[in-house]
Each structure stands twice: as structure tokens, then as C-alpha cells.
Amino acid sequence: MSLELLGSRVLAPYFGASIYVWGSLIGLILTALAGGYYLGGWLAELPQNQGESSKRFLDKLFLVVAVFLLFDLFSYVAILKWLSSWDAVWGTLAASLMLFCVPMVALAAVSPLVIKILSEQEKTGKAAGLVYAWGTAGSILGTFLTTFWSVPYFGSRLTLYGCFFISLLVLVGLFLMVDRKIILLPILFFLISLAVLSSSVLVQGVILETESAYNQIRLINRDGKILLTLNSQQDSLVHSGYSNISSGDNWSYLNNLFGVGPLIKPVDSLLVLGMAAGSTVLQHQAFSPQIKIDAVEIDPKIIAIAKEQFGLKENENLSIWQADARPFLSNNQKQYDMIEIDLFQGGPYSPFYTMTQEFFELTSKRLSQNGFIMMNVFAPGHQELLGPVLNAIASVYPSVYKIPLRSNFIILATRSATSLEAIKNELEGAIKLAPEDLKPAVVYVQDYIEPYEANKKAPIFTDDWAPVEKITYRMLKGLNL
């Protein structure tokens, strides 16, 4: 289980963390386990001195595990970079096959051999029960240690090293039972592996690379601007950006449309769902310092980065909450004038449960009478994802507008009916008083905002049916991302 969970982590920056990645990884690992169980059963029944033969195969199997995990330690980054141009399914399958298939086959083959050895002293049923019980207990322990301790505190690389080191300890024990002279082999492996601990994996421009329970996190310095990317090796998939050179470098008008919201309707209270490292929060503080903001971010490490690297500080007008967006909406009864929604689970994939009719009904309940939402939707090149999301929003909100933004759309939806003319008039009157850094974004909204009329023939995303990952996967495949 540790290797399976670890597989999902090392694959995420290159292929994402969608259900397709998980399904491909789990499917291949189950195939490897099935092959390993068959291999172990075949080895256990070899016709020569069966008990001794089974014992001697154990050290060979763990030798294979140790060798391949040592290989993984030195090569997994290079292999994943090489395969990163493949699509998510085939890339995941190829990477899993190269990195994890052989050690999983070898580990699976151990169980039938141990059952064979124990059955010479115990009844076969009891021997099998003991092996399955201890094997399951080990899987449970490995799952909890990997999920709640090893990966969040030490990262994928050291967790993989820990798996290698455990296999090495088992190999030493088995070699001591057979021939003490060959114990030099695992010692040699250990000495070679020390090079992994001393090597640096940071590439040029990357100033921080760490992991949390939710994300693989990278901070990149690009010409003095700090960029945050999550679960991705593509610098173009940026979740937050910050520059201490000048305010003008901070506020690119194409990344600043959320700041136009308070000019469309009066905003005294704002809820930000998906704060990341706080770029838009900093924008709101700069453009509309009087607004009281509640910012929600699920990842505590990203909150720490927002404070340490991006200069975000809590004060009487800013409260930061570490929570999942939808449960926060369910448990928090406060009402807001504006809700900003910018939710991605690393890379371009959005959590499906934040794009459904039920989710938007919940947002509506948290808005004041004249409140509105603004949402960032990744939908490059076609309407397959955008249409059902807009229909879900339009089933709840009387007025819905869309603003194209490169590969994204900013969606504006008001709780009370609002005309396009009224929005443009508000912006026309506000542009003279708007900060200089915000004026280009105001003009952009005026030029490109358009109303959306619900398409009754198109589907609506609901909690029961929302194939967001499937559609996003098809979009990425079409873009060769």
C-alpha cells in the first residue's frame, strides 16, 4: 500500500491526480499483484526439496525488490519527465510499469511462499490465515504511516527511500539465515543509496519544492516574480503569483478580473474559496482595503507559504480558514456580498463537487440579497465543460454572465436579476475612480462580458452526475498538455 500511495504522489506532478491516473495506477498494480501471487504459488510447488526451495526464493525476491527500488530512487524523476509528454492514461500506465510493476510482482510472490513454509508446521488453512492477517495489518500500517506521517513530513523521495531501506533490512535478515558473506551486497546497496540523500532535486528557478497531505508544491522565481504551482511540472499552470518589484508587476489585468467585482456591486464582505497563496486576496486588499475577507484554503502548507513568501497577513479585515470549500459553506452560516470561487485540485482539474447544481445552491444561501459569485473555470477551446457548469449556475441564479480569459472563463452570477446594461453602466461610472492598475481589467470586462442563456437541451452537472475529470482529460488531450 505504501508503494501504491507513493505512486500516486510521484505521478501527480506529471500526469495530474485525476480518477484516470488513480484508475490506471491501481489497475496496473492489481495486475502485478495477480501475477506475483501466481508466480509465488508456482515457485512454492517446484518439485525439489520444497521447503528449503521456498526459503531460498524469499531472499531472491527481496533482492529484486531492493534492486528495483534503488533503481527507482535514482531514475524516477528522469523517467517521469521523459514520459510527461504522453497523455495521462498511457503515461501513468507506462510509468507504473517501469517503476512499480517488478517490485510489486516480487512482493506479491512472497505470500504464497510463506504460506508454503508455514504449512509444513501448521495446517494450511491456519497458515494462510496468518499470512493474510499479518499482510493486511502491514498494509494498514503502511497506509496510515505513508498518508499521515511520511509523505506530509518527509516527502515522496524520502518515503521511497524508507521503502527501499525496509526491503534492505529484510534482505539482510534473510541473507544472515543463508550465508553471512553475501551480507556485503545489501551493505553496498546502502552505500550507493546514500548518494540519493545527498543529491539536490531543485532545478534552476525553483526556490522551494515540498509536499503536504494535499499537494506537491513548487515555488518558482521567474524574473523576480514568485509563482506557485501545484502537482504540476508545467510552469504555465500557475495558482498564485507575487512580485515585490512593483505593484504593476503584481496585477496583470488578465489575472485580475476578480478585482473588478466590487466595482459592479457594492461589496463589504467577501468569501474567497480557493485562496492558494493569496494573489487575489492581496489584490482585493490593494484595490478595496475596506472589504472584510474570509479566505478559505484546504492546504495548511500553502497557507504558511502565503504568509512567509507572499506577505499575506491576517488582520481585522482578513481571516484565513484552513478547510475544504464545500464543507466550509455547509458549516458556516455567514452571508457575504461576493463569493470568489477559484478551486483546483492541482493542475487544471477542478473538484467535481464544486461545479454542481447543489454546490451553487449552497453558495446562493451564503449571499446577501444583492450578492453575486465570480468563478474561474478552465475550459480551453470548447464548451463541453463550460456548458454544464453554466447550466448548473443558471438553474440557481437569475442572471449569469461569462468573460473569456485565454484558456479560462470568469463567470459572474447575481442573486438578484441584473441586466448587462446595468453592469456596464456601473463599470463606466467606476472606471474614473478605479486604481490605475485595475483600469485595464475594467475595460476588458466591459469589452468581453456577455450574458448566458441556459440551454435546456444541454446537461446540468449535479452531485449525482458530473464527469468533470473525464471532460477535462479530453480537453487536455486535445491541447496535448
In tens, the pLDDT along 113-168 reads 999 888 878 788 888 999 999 999 999 999 999 999 998 888 888 999 999 999 99
Reduced to 3 states (helix: H, G, I; strand: E, B; else coil), residue 260 is helix
Q: Residue 222: what pLDDT?
A: 82
Rounded to whole angstroms, the Cα distance separating 172 from 182 reads: 9
Mean pLDDT (the chain) is 88
Rounded to whole angstroms, the Cα distance separating 389 from 378 reads: 11
Helices (H), 223-356: 247-250, 261-264, 279-287, 300-308, 325-331
Rounded to whole angstroms, the Cα distance separating 234 from 481 reads: 9
Are the CB atoms for 268 and 337 separated by under 8 Å?
yes
Q: How confident is the model at residue 396 (pLDDT cuts 50, 70, 90)?
A: very high
**Mean pLDDT across 379-392:** 86
Q: Residue 250: what pLDDT?
A: 41
Rounded to whole angstroms, the Cα distance separating 88 from 81 reads: 13
Question: What contacts 24+ positions apart, CB below 8 Å, involve 400-403?
Answer: 400/451, 400/452, 400/454, 401/449, 401/450, 401/451, 401/452, 402/449, 402/450, 402/452, 403/257, 403/444, 403/445, 403/448, 403/449, 403/450
User: Residue 276 — left, alpha, or beta (φ > 0 → left; ψ -120 to 50 → alpha)?
Assistant: left
Q: Which of 301, 260, 265 is nearest to 283 (CA)?
A: 260
Rounded to whole angstroms, the Cα distance separating 346 from 216 reads: 8
Rounded to whole angstroms, the Cα distance separating 186 from 171 reads: 7
Q: How confident is the model at residue 405 (pLDDT cuts 50, 70, 90)?
A: confident
Q: Which of 198, 200, 193 is nearest to 67 (CA)?
A: 193
Cell of 132: 493474510
Q: What are the Cα distances from residue 137, in Å, to 2, 131, 143, 255?
A: 13, 10, 10, 49
**Mode of pairing for the β-strands spanning 336-341 and 367-378:** parallel
